[in-house]
Amino acid sequence: MPELPEVEIVRQSLNKKINQKKVIKVIVRNRNLRFKLPINFETFLKGRKIIEVKRFSKYLIFCFSNDKYCLLHLGMSGTVHVITDNQRNLLTNTSFYNSPTLPIKHNHVEIIFKNLRVIYNDPRRFGFFQIINDSLSLKKKFANLGPEPFQTEFNYKYIISFLKGKNKNIKNFLLDQNFVSGIGNIYANEILFHCKLDPNKKADSLKKDDYKKIILNSRKVLSKAIKNGGSTIKDFKNTSGKRGRFQKNFKVYERKGQLCKRLNCKGIIQKKEISNRSTFFCNICQI
């Protein structure tokens, strides 16, 4: 599933391509996504100009004139492809998941602008679009989500208040979008390695320095992932010809049985299931 860095790469790609462009036409080939597309979806988008493509957590936000919005969540397998008219498109994927070129099947939504098309592809159909009619409704949409790691609201005081008296392990908290938005399984593993924390450690047993490490390393890991184009197991280029390279910086994720990369640590990377999610950690330096 795309996490915050991968969705940010999609946002950057789209904002370069469609900012200030007007939607000419919308073609819906399958309304049955995670949530069924509303009957007025095509007419809502048609004729509106994209003011900016923003993002919160794992949501893409298409900002239109007159305080109108359309959200897109990529779900498990959703990808966004840009097709430029009258040009041979060898690379269409705005990020680094699944096919680098436009697949033949599962192209559910096509948004047409002058000289280019944006196509939403989703084999598993866990992604969805949502129409938002004003900024207040947009704010309410995200009201139950925690702050992103980059926001000032994600601070020492907030973490202490949220975790106080709670017995859940810290790995599950990092994946809890009500606690902090945008962190998924890959980056939770990497963040905890940098914090030197056992993923199974209970939240109410953390120390003051642990909270500070979580804030610092959440920002550090996600920033580096964005800078490196996100993570992908299939190493291919996106529409800008760039590769997702952060997977080459993994310290623990998918490294079961390998030596720990921390200097002077002789640990071996372990793998276990925590709440049905693959969890990787060093058996010596993560305590």
Residue extents of the structural domains in the chain: 4-134, 156-282
Annotated active-site residue in 3, 6, 8, 148: 3
**What pLDDT is stored for residue 235 in this prediction?**
44
**What pLDDT is stored for residue 63 in this prediction?**
98
**What pLDDT is stored for residue 222 in this prediction?**
95
Note the residue count of the chain.
287
Is 277 tagged catalytic? yes
**Contacting residues for 43 by C-beta, under 8 A, at least 6 apart:** none
> Which residue blocks in the chain are alpha helix, DSSP H?
4-18, 41-45, 135-141, 156-163, 170-175, 185-195, 208-227
Cα distances from 124 to residues 5, 15, 104, 235, in angstroms, run 21, 26, 15, 21
What is the enclosing helix (H) or strand (E) of 28?
strand 25-28
Q: What are phi and psi of 237, to 5 degrees?
A: -90, 155
Distance CA 238, CA 258 (A): 30
**What pLDDT is stored for residue 244 in this prediction?**
52
Annotated active-site residue in 2, 5, 100, 149: 2
pTM of the model: 0.90
DSSP assignment letter at 247: G
Residue type, 70: C
Low-confidence stretches of the chain (pLDDT < 50) are 233-237
Is 3 tagged catalytic? yes
Q: Is 4-134 a CATH 3.40.50.300 domain? A: no
Annotated active-site residue in 11, 17, 58, 213: 58
What CATH architecture does domain 156-282 belong to? Orthogonal Bundle (1.10)
Is 199 tagged catalytic? no
**What pLDDT is stored for residue 209 in this prediction?**
95
**Contacting residues for 39 by C-beta, under 8 A, at least 6 apart:** none
**What pLDDT is stored for residue 240 in this prediction?**
57
Is 55 tagged catalytic? no
**What pLDDT is stored for residue 236 in this prediction?**
41
